[in-house]
Amino acid sequence: MKLSASKRSRAQAIYLLLSALFVSSLVTCNLIANKFVEVDLGFKTFVISVGVLPYPITFLITDFLSEIYGQRRTTHVVYAGFFASLFVLFMLWLGNQFPSIATSPVSDEVYAQVFQNSWRVILSSMLAYLTAQLVDVRLFHFWKGLTGGKMLWVRNNFSTILSQLVDTSLVVFVLFVGTLDGATMMDYIRDGWLFKLGVAIFDTLFIYLAVGWMRVYFSLEPGEEVDLD
């Protein structure tokens, strides 16, 4: 849908703000992914990487962008996040090439342990991210077309369910194959995926509120997208 100049400017600002939040959430995931914790929700204790905590935000944002701005614009954000993550990882590697001085608060050993992820971590996070996000965007638009732009909860959840399974499986497999037994890896995949699935179901309310507001504010019909070109 073509917008007036003022509303187009606001739509562009929202798009850029969500893009920035997406990239920052993704970069944070990569920086903290090496730490594994237990999250006790009472009915079950999940063993997950702390990188899982901000990661569902990225899928919520891509679903929102797909609904309002379309597949092409959302794919641009996915690729931007990929290259931003590669740049951050390169800079972390570069920082490790210079020895720390004697009075440095962070020694070379501590820096390497915290930031210098192995090739397994880099490969798993980048491979999983790009594959899962592209799967999510394409599945979202598949369900959107199949439902004629109705039943937002179907495409929001069904696209995320499969894409999160792809993401979790790739991360755990590439990160731990050859170092952990199959049963332990399956436990990690199950816990990570179920935790992400629970968050995805929970965030359905938020995407309905956000999309509903956008449709009213920009006078969009069900299934209609904002045209920023």
* Of the candidate ranges 119-133, 144-158, 183-197, 210-224, the one whose mean pLDDT is the lowest: 119-133
Instruction: For the chain, give the mean pLDDT.
Output: 81
User: Residue 82, Cα to own-chain centre: how many angstroms?
Assistant: 10
Q: What is the mean pLDDT of residues 12-40?
A: 86
β-bridge pairing 45-49 and 36-40: antiparallel
Q: What is the mean pLDDT of residues 178-196?
A: 83
Render pLDDT for 113-145 as a digit per residue (tens, 0 to 9).
Answer: 777 655 556 666 777 777 777 777 787 778 777
**Residue-level pLDDT at 96:** 81
Q: What is the mean pLDDT of residues 85-114?
A: 83
Top-ranked range on mean pLDDT: pick from 16-25, 51-60, 195-204: 16-25
Every domain of the chain and the residues it spans: 5-217
DSSP 7-44: HHHHHHHHHHHHHHHHHHHHHHHHHHTT-EEEEE-SS-
**Residue-level pLDDT at 35:** 79
Query: With bands split at pLDDT 50, 70 and 90, how would you rate the model's confidence at 55?
Result: confident
Render pLDDT for 140-156 as a digit per residue (tens, 0 to 9).
Answer: 778 777 777 777 777 77
Structure tokens at 97: 């090439």
For 5-217, which CATH class?
Answer: mainly alpha
Q: Which of 84, 87, 190, 81 is nearest to 136 (CA)?
A: 81
Kindly report whether the global pTM for this prediction surpasses the value 0.85. Answer: no
**Residue-level pLDDT at 19:** 95
Structure tokens at 190: 């199950």
